[in-house]
Amino acid sequence: PPSRLPGVGTTIFTVMSALATETGAVNLGQGFPDFDCDPRLTSAVTEAMQAGHNQYPPMPGIPLLRQRIAEKIGALYGRHYDWNREVTITAGATQGLLTAILCCVHPGDEVIVFEPCYDSYRPAIELAGGRVVPVCLRAPDYRIPFDALAAALSPRTRMVIVNTPHNPTGTIWHDDDMRQLARVLDGTDVVVLSDEVYEHMVYDGQLHASVARYPELAMRSFVVSSFGKTYHVTGWKVGYVAAPASLMDEFRKVHQFNVFTVNTPMQHALASYMADPAPWRDLPAFYQRKRDLFRSGLADSRFRLLPADGTYFQCVDYSAISALPENEFAMWLTREIGVAAIPVSAFYSTPQDAGIVRFCFAKQDATLQQALQRLAAL
């Protein structure tokens, strides 16, 4: 049969991780920690399994986990979701994003994405039969061009995808950005899909501008997050979606035939671990220190550091070092210098080649030091 996704190949993350393994390079490409999670969390999984939590959980997730998520969102962002009707546990944020798109987007509908954007958005929209309408963000500050957003809106616009803190650029949306978004969407029935997987990686005392803080946005939004990022367990693939009941009812119609439900022992472990707010409260300081270590290691180098307000990514402009296009530079850096990175052009539908690559600093200090020694010498 003809391909449903003819333009899609292997993701850049898989390609660069494979190259890093093959060449023995330090892998600062694909975003994942090279250190382990809190042992209390793994013990909690064993305990859940031994306590017999090994059969199907309820379709939207176990009640205690959904209750704790709703409490946490209420405490942090001030919106009180009904845990029973408005929160669903997903197989990572990726499934939450796909399911939200599949349940809303009809063939011919338009979905606005800000590029560069995370690589799963575009194929998910295409699978739903939707049309991607990119609004371009540009280096070095990648600010949201609200005029371009307003111009991109049409009667066919079904959804706008927002991602703050932003992968790959490490920028964050501010209060006035959210207010402007609310103003631009006022009077439309456009749904917002808000990818907030890096919600606890915001630095220098700044606030995470969750759409859940803004009633006029929250009423039209799916909020997506992931335990993988917050608890250093990207391989667990457990996340969640919160949305008003009218949106969540539709979400669950797709979810129950997409995955039906998400693995039980992890849900119990996460529910008990969530009783302690310290892990997410301490996360900004934990990653800010790594960001600063990485940035200070490159401060005197020929890499130009872009702002890094959130996420565990640092983008750098390498144009003082090389004139290679981003893809080739990332390959060269991996093969010849021994440090893997991700070309930012991979996050655009029309590659920009601005001479910028992304490094992930969710690594042990020793890993960062080893990479810095190699990079600072360039």
Residue nearest to ligand PMP (CB): 92
Q: Residues 124, 97: contact at Cβ < 8 Å?
A: yes
What one-letter code names the amino acid at 1? P
65 binds ligand PMP (CB under 6 A): no
Binding to ligand PMP in span 30-49, by CB under 6 A: 31
Calpha distance 118→313 (Å, rounded): 13
Q: Which two tokens stand for residue 346?
A: 């991979």
Binding mask 151-180 for ligand GLN (x = CB under 6 A): ----------------x-------------
> Is residue 163 near ligand PMP by the rule CB under 6 A?
yes
User: Which of the choices ligand PMP, ligand GLN, none does residue 30 contact, using the CB cut-off of 5 to 8 A by kind?
Assistant: ligand GLN
13 forms part of the interface with ligand GLN (CB under 6 A): yes
Smallest separation, CB 315 to ligand GLN (Å): 12
> HSE on the CB side for 28, CA within 13 Å?
34
Measured from the CB of residue 15, what is the shortest distance to ligand PMP in angstroms?
15
230 belongs to the binding site for ligand PMP (CB under 6 A): no
Chain centroid to CA 237: 13
Residue with tokens 């890993």: 367
Q: Using CB atoms within 10 A of its CB, is residue 65 exposed (0-12), middle (13-18) or buried (19+)?
A: buried
- Region binding ligand PMP by CB under 6 A among candidate stretches 123-131, 182-190, 234-242, 301-309: 234-242
Interaction between residue 30 and ligand GLN (CB under 6 A): yes
- CA 120 – CA 347 distance, rounded (Å): 10
Contacts of 371 (CB under 8 A, 6+ apart): 26, 28, 339, 359, 363
Determine the 3-state secondary structure of 46 from DSSP: helix
Size of the site for ligand GLN (CB under 6 A): 5
116 binds ligand PMP (CB under 6 A): no
CB 149 within 8 Å of CB 188: no
Q: Tell me which DSSP letter residue 87 carries.
A: E
Size, binding site for ligand PMP by CB under 6 A: 14
167 binds ligand PMP (CB under 6 A): yes
CB of 376 to ligand PMP, least distance (A): 27
Token pair 């893809």: residue: 327
Q: What is the Rg, in whole angstroms, of the alpha carbon atoms belonging to the chain?
A: 20
234 scored as a contact of ligand PMP (CB under 6 A): yes
Least separation in angstroms between CB 148 and ligand GLN: 24
Binding site partner of 230, from ligand GLN, ligand PMP, none, Cβ cut-off 5-8 A by kind: none
Does 118 bind ligand PMP (CB under 6 A)? Our answer is: yes
Q: How far apart are CA 139 and CA 352, in angstroms?
A: 10
Q: Which residues bind ligand GLN (CB under 6 A)?
A: 11, 13, 30-31, 167
Q: Which residues bind ligand PMP (CB under 6 A)?
A: 31, 92-94, 118, 163, 167, 195, 197, 226, 228, 234, 237, 239
